[in-house]
Amino acid sequence: MADAKVIPFDDDRARGSVPRAGRRRAPGAGSGTGESPVRDVPAARDGRSRRGARPAAVPGQAPGAAQPEPGPGAGSGVGGWERKLAGGLAFLRRRVTGDYEVDEFGYDKELTDQVLMELLRPLYDKYFRVEVKGIENIPAEGGALVVANHSGTLPLDGLMLQVAVHDRHPAGRHLRLLAADLVFMLPVVNELARKAGHTLACAEDAERLLERGEVVGVMPEGFKGIGKPFGERYKLQRFGRGGFVSTALRAGVPIVPCSIVGAEEIYPMIGNAKTLARVLGLPYFPVTPTFPLLGPLGAVPLPTKWTIQFGEPIPTDGYPAEAAEDPMLMFNLTDQVREQIQHTLYKLLVQRRSVFF
């Protein structure tokens, strides 16, 4: 497979959209309306009307009566499948020839939109039935830092958060998640994470993304949050040293607190095989009611009902440049974000009637 083109970081195209100019249009592709081009056909000798002329009367119907509307399936069928097939073949051709673009972090917008999101959407819509609130609190343009709680034994909450922003934001924004080192050490997972727009959880990468106007997601609890026992569910762990606040202050972007309810119960962690975790080089090895007792079947998450709520953004652009080096300010802002997320978690839990419905 040919190598993909790499967008220079300072190029306008690096804003996450794949330019259409110069691309070969898929055979049969129209203007995007789903309609076929229509030609004016001269009237035939058998009395059929021209375009725009009065249609012929239907036998048994009064002249001037309304004509029946085409059914809901009109216009679909073979033509629609042909267009889908042509689009799929055009996509495969671009992948094989390398006629697609990635940014300096490895983000592949076309693959994310057309493949990765499609694979995650059934889990999001049908399995976890995610409900999203406050999505309008993420700005329509410019950089923003989304800070969320982390839970669930496996990091499915980050993926569902990415789908929520991708599918529900009115401006169609994309969330660029900051991931732990372990993600980029795993084969296959490393490549998919890069393609989906994830990058290493370091201040330099986060600041560069924010300055170029991206929405960046971070879960400061890290492995302490995702690997905590079931008895401590929905109790936020320590938020590190507030490095995400310093990054937001330097970039001058708002911080958007985010609370996720439902992920804690997908894998109820009742134990941790620490010795096995050390042997495998993992931060923890979970023991749940179904895993490892049921083997691979125990890795299937429970179908809980999720709610993701984005809170009121906390502005940072009003602080002076040296504020990013003020430890007291960072501590106060970190505590403010943490308290807002925790308070929203408690509120959502009170409103929730059932874990599964």
| More confident of the two residues 5 and 206 | 206
The reported pLDDT for the residue numbered 52 is 40
What confidence score (pLDDT) does residue 138 get?
Answer: 97
The residue-averaged pLDDT of 56-62 equals: 44
Q: What is the pLDDT of residue 285?
A: 94
Q: What is the pLDDT of residue 255?
A: 97
Asked whether the predicted pLDDT for residue 270 surpasses 90, the reply is: yes
pLDDT of residue 100: 83
pLDDT per residue as tens digits for the range 70-108: 444 444 456 778 888 888 888 888 888 888 888 999 999
**Structure confidence at residue 87 (pLDDT):** 81
Q: What is the mean pLDDT of residues 53-60?
A: 43
Higher confidence at residue 61 or residue 124?
Answer: 124
**Spatial distance between the Cα atoms of 88 and 91, rounded to a whole number of angstroms:** 5
Cα 17 to Cα 110, 140, 220, 232, 252, distances in angstroms: 8, 15, 28, 41, 23
Residue type, 253: V
Statement: residue 131 has pLDDT above 90: yes
Task: Report DSSP state, residue 221.
Answer: T
Q: Smallest Cα–Cα separation from 174: which of 182, 183, 184, 164?
A: 164
pLDDT digits (tens, 9 = 90+) for 150-193: 999 999 999 999 999 999 999 999 999 999 999 999 999 999 99
pLDDT value for 28 = 39
Residue 77 confidence (pLDDT): 57
What DSSP string runs through 230-268?
Answer: GGGTT-----TTSHHHHHHHHHT--EEEEEEESGGGSS-
More confident residue, 6 or 248: 248
Q: How many CB atoms lie within 10 A of CB 265?
A: 20
Six-digit token string for 72: 């809901």
| Rounded mean pLDDT, 291-295 | 91
Residue 235 has pLDDT above 50, yes or no: yes
Mean pLDDT of the chain: 82
Report the percent of the chain where pLDDT is more than 70. 78
**CA 344 – CA 159 distance, rounded (Å):** 21
pLDDT of residue 9: 42
- Secondary structure string (H, E, C) spanning 140-199: CCCCEEEEECCCCCCCHHHHHHHHHHHHHCCCCCCEEEEECHHHHHCCCHHHHHHHCCCE
- The predicted model gives 21-25 an average pLDDT of 37
pLDDT for position 24: 36
Q: What is the pLDDT of residues 121-130, one digit of tens each?
A: 999 999 999 9
What confidence score (pLDDT) does residue 45 get?
37
The yes-or-no verdict on residue 49 having pLDDT over 90 is no
Query: At residue 31, does pLDDT exceed 80?
Result: no
Q: Tell me: domain 97-266+301-351, CATH 2.30.30.100, correct?
A: no
Phi, psi of 148 (to 5 degrees): -130, 160
State mean pLDDT over 331-335: 93
Give the contacts of 93 (CB within 8 A, at least 6 positions apart): 99
**pTM greater than 0.85:** no
pLDDT at 150: 96
Place of tokens 């819509």: 125
Give the whole-number percent of the chain exceeding pLDDT 90: 64
Higher-confidence residue of 114 and 79: namely 114
User: Band of the pLDDT at 60, cuts 50, 70, 90?
Assistant: very low
- The predicted pLDDT at position 15 comes to 39
